[in-house]
Every structure is written in C-alpha cells, then in structure tokens.
Amino acid sequence: MVSGGGPVGCIGLDWGTSNLRAYRIAADGRVLDRRESTAGILKAADGDFAGTLRATVGDWLDAEPDAPVLLSGMIGSRQGWLEVPYCPCPAGIDAIAAAVRRLDLDGRTLTFIPGLLDPGAGDAPPDVMRGEEVQLLGCGTEGLHGLPGTHGKWAVVEDGRITRFQTHMTGEVYELLVRHSILGRLMDADAPQDADAFDLGLARAAQPGGLLHHLFGTRTLGLTGGLAAGAQPSYLSGLLIGHEVGAALASVPADAPVTLVGSPRLCALYARALAAFGRTATDAPPDAAAAGLHRLAQRLRPSV
C-alpha cells in the first residue's frame, strides 16, 4: 500500500487515559472505519497494550500489512506503552514529525506521536498536552482553540504552529465539587441540563469576588430557595466554564478567531459561554484527531 512519494492510508489510534479511538483512514484522508472503547491506558488489561491493540484493530492490521500505524495521546506517556519526550512549543507538523518514536511489534512498526510542552512565559510553570496536538493539526485553523474536558486545553495556533497553551482543571474540579463537596449535598446531580441556571452561573462568573467565593453561592442560592436542587449542577457548570473562558479569552487579542474541538455536548456549552462574552466560535471538523493522524502519516511517509 505504501508507495514511494504518493499519499498513504494509515491506521491511527488516539489513545488517552480513559478512552481509545481507532481510525482506519484512506490515502485521501477519508475515515473508512472507526472504533471506540474505554480501553484507555489506565484500563488496558494489566498494561497489555499489544493485546489491546490487536483486540481493537487486529483485523485492520492484517488487512493492511503495509499501512503505517500511528498512536497519539497518553499512550506515549510514562504510564503508557512507549514514553515519547515532549516536543517544545512553538511546534508545527515538522517539529512533531521529527520527534516521533518507533517500536517494532512482531515486525510491524508502530509510530508514537510526541506530546507538547509549553515551557511557560516568564515565571509561569510549564504546561503539557498529549493527543490534543494531533487534533489541532487536524483542525488546520489559526487562532485560539478550546478543547474542553477533564483537563481542558486552550491553545493558540499561529502560522500553522502551536505557539502556547493552557490547561484548565475545569472538568475535574466540577466532578470533585459535585461528588465530594458540601455543594453536592443540596444538589440533584442527575438532573438534566438547565440552560437558565447555566446562564446565571456564567453571568456570576463575570462579576468580581473570585471563583472560590462564587462557588459558595451555589449553596446559598440552594439554602435560600433561589436555585432548585436540579438547577444547581448547571449553575456550578456555568460558574466554572465562565471563569475558564474568561481567563482564556484574556490571553489573546479581542479579534482572535475561536475554534472549539471536542464532544458536541461540551462544545455547545462552551459556545454558549463564549457568546456570553460576545464571541462566536467555530466548531472544528469532526474527527479532527483522524485528520491530524492522516496529516502526520503523509508527512512521515518513506521519502524513498
């Protein structure tokens, strides 16, 4: 299947902490097939990554013996299969492709994509990502990119290179507060999304007082009847996302384009938050990870 200079098809795996997404990708970039499971690196049975790979895409590997196999995400971390050192920012496709590491699995070469390290400006701490850089390559867009999640990222792309990014612990902090804090006691955590309460939380996030104070308002509104038990999770979500989006927007010029990458449900919440700040977001094309893996496969093709 691999020809000297022509485009190649590939098998791509976006293998994170909690999930594994696999793509069978044609030479022209079309996604021919996809599989998704919860066999993230923490769950892959006893660290048997080879077994998990075969169980997930063994038939694809057999059917396309010459297709490159690319793996991105936490699978390339210290807790993964093969540690790939972080590639420092600014980094575009050339720098990322130059930093891959390879592993031979019974004669098949597996190519692991590096994560990125933002060393941080001035005294700021460094930041890291693994997997999102491939989604960003797949977007092919410039400006600010929001990738919401447990540890959501906001990344700036300039001239095709990821120049800097920030991780926000929004998703994890939300889960902690709902499950373990005093706020969870008055809440109906399983209630459906309440758009009005979410908007109230967004509006509150734009006021002074700070997040640590704003959080407590979820409880006092519950105690005083201002917010029903089922509305409190959405209010809390609005507070946290409002604080995150406000901080992310403050890091870029007011006219920077904004792209959202991720699950439609989360991206819709973030688009609503951006709208509250007067900003319009573009949704990334679906399968941004597959598109990024395909771009890297082209870039890495044997230069015979």
Q: Which is nearer to a copy of itself, 195 or 223 (CB)?
A: 223
Residue entry with tokens 């496969």: 297
Of the candidate residues 169, 196, 264, 302, the single one contacting a copy of itself (CB under 8 A): 169
163 near a copy of itself, rule: CB under 8 A: no
Instruction: Measure Cα distances from 137 to 76, 127, 133, 214, 295 in Å.
Output: 17, 18, 6, 36, 8
Binding mask 113-152 for a copy of itself (x = CB under 8 A): ----x-----xxxxxx----------------------x-
As a three-state string, the secondary structure of the chain is: CCCCCCCCCEEEEEECCCCEEEEEECCCCCEEEEEEECCCCCCCHHHCHHHHHHHHHHHHHHHCCCCCEEEECHHHCCCCCCCCCCEECCECHHHHHHCCEEEEECCEEEEECCCEEECCCCCCCCEEECCHHHHHHHHCCCEEEEECCCCEEEEEEECCEEEEEEEECHHHHHHHHHHHCHHHHHCCCCCCCCHHHHHHHHHHHCCCCCHHHHHHHHHHHHHCCCCCCCCHHHHHHHHHHHHHHHHHHCCCCCCCCEEECCCHHHHHHHHHHHHHCCCCEEECCCCHHHHHHHHHHHHCCCCC
CB of 298 to a copy of itself, least distance (A): 31
Of the candidate residues 143, 246, 257, 285, the single one contacting a copy of itself (CB under 8 A): 246
254 near a copy of itself, rule: CB under 8 A: no
CB of 5 to a copy of itself, least distance (A): 39
Binding mask 54-83 for a copy of itself (x = CB under 8 A): ------------------------------
Q: Which is nearer to a copy of itself, 177 or 289 (CB)?
A: 177
45 near a copy of itself, rule: CB under 8 A: no
Query: Which residues 97-116 are close enough to bind a copy of itself by CB under 8 A?
Result: none
Interacting residues of 104 by C-beta distance below 8 A, sequence separation 6+: 110
Q: Which is nearer to a copy of itself, 5 or 122 (CB)?
A: 122
**Interface stretch with a copy of itself, choices 61-69, 97-105, 161-169, 284-292 (CB under 8 A):** 161-169
Q: Which is nearer to a copy of itself, 244 or 287 (CB)?
A: 244
Q: Which is nearer to a copy of itself, 227 or 260 (CB)?
A: 227
272 near a copy of itself, rule: CB under 8 A: no
**Interface stretch with a copy of itself, choices 36-44, 140-148, 206-214, 254-262 (CB under 8 A):** 206-214
Which positions lie near a copy of itself, rule CB under 8 A?
117, 123-128, 151, 166-170, 172-173, 176-177, 179-182, 203-204, 207-213, 215-217, 220-221, 223-224, 226, 240, 243-244, 246-248, 250-251
